[in-house]
Amino acid sequence: MRGKFFALSMMLMNGVFSIQAHDLNFGLFELFEEGQAYYMEIRLDKVNLVKAVGNDVGTTKEDWNCALSQYLNDRMSLAINGQSASLEYTAINFHEEVVIISAKVDLPHTQITDITVSNTVLLETIENQTNIIKATFHNKKRSFRLSKDRISTIIKYEL
């Protein structure tokens, strides 16, 4: 019995049995209200984001911030109560495995009845990418998954 266990262990260590891990490729886009303003926090895999944006954007933090802002603006749109909103990126922080982007939604504060989100961030570059949209307004948390098959959603709130 000991010999069989040893042989099995050696086969596993030498890769005879191929074990494939499946990466979870997802981005998190969280909308929330703080005080009299709206904000979005975005969390994306660092390696995937660099792959999508490209390595030839420059060497300074300012170059990367500009490239990331442009990349996100080209692939994401947001409307609140039918009014198009732009994002003012207030912080872009690179961590070991994730990039966290903070943004202020450039719209006056109002009672939210619907939010329209279109999002193709990383979808054209990363296989099986999913973007999770989370919104917390009127003490209600709502979450939606966007992918290549579904790139937009409308989040409705009843007052």
> Does residue 62 sit within a domain?
yes
> Does residue 85 sit within a domain?
yes
Other beta carbons within 10 Å of 119: 24
Other beta carbons within 10 Å of 6: 10
Domain that holds residue 44: 26-156
> Does residue 100 sit within a domain?
yes
DSSP 13-28: HTTSS--------EEE
Whether residue 15 has pLDDT greater than 50: no
> Does residue 52 sit within a domain?
yes
**Radius of gyration of the CA atoms of the chain, in A:** 20
Other beta carbons within 10 Å of 86: 12
pLDDT band at 151 (very low <50, low <70, confident <90, very high): very high
Per the structure, the count of domains in the chain is 1
> Does residue 2 sit within a domain?
no
| Alpha helical stretches, state H, the chain | 2-13, 46-53, 61-75
pLDDT band at 73 (very low <50, low <70, confident <90, very high): very high
- Report the pLDDT averaged over residues 3-14: 42
pLDDT of residue 24: 67
**Euclidean distance between CA atoms 129 and 143, whole angstroms:** 16
